[in-house]
Amino acid sequence: MNQILIEPSPPRARRVGDAARVALVAILVVALLAIAIRITEGPDFVDRVSVVNHTGYDLDVDVSNASRDGWLPLSVSTAGTTDVTRDVIDMHDTWVFRFSHEGVDAGEVEVSRDQLARTGWTVEVPARVAQQLRATDQLPAD
């Protein structure tokens, strides 16, 4: 009867194979951790954004980025006041502020991040917002 002899691999070959498996597992673990950190990373924030409202209207103020792919409520800006909102999601290079009064669109203003930083993260409601609201027969706040 024929017997097939199987010789065990030399001990050095086993050590190299074991080391390769350990290295592969370590690389996979590091890659998975990097992906998990990236996925769970939250947005950047700006400490505060102020809205100066010299109009006679109480305004809803929303903010978005240049692509306008999602609007976030920023504040309800009372007529004749400066409202400060803290911990605002950073819109990065271009910030777009949208104004409305009682559901009526009153226009937008686009401001670069650099300009906002230079003005101390303050945006002034343009006079044209009040003009647009008057043109649609909206009454100012009492």
Distances (CA, A) of 129 to 6, 71, 81, 98, 137: 88, 18, 15, 10, 13
Q: Which pLDDT tens digit goes with each residue over 58-114?
A: 999 999 999 999 999 999 999 999 999 999 999 999 999 999 999 999 999 999 999
Which SS3 state, helix, strand or coil, does residue 101 take? strand
Q: What does residue 133 show for φ and ψ, rounded to 5 degrees? A: -70, -40
Distance CA 64, CA 1 (A): 83
- How many other CB atoms are found less than 10 A from the CB of residue 53? 25
Confidence category of residue 142, pLDDT binned at 50, 70, 90: low
Is residue 5 over pLDDT 80? no
Q: Which residue type is seen at 113?
A: R
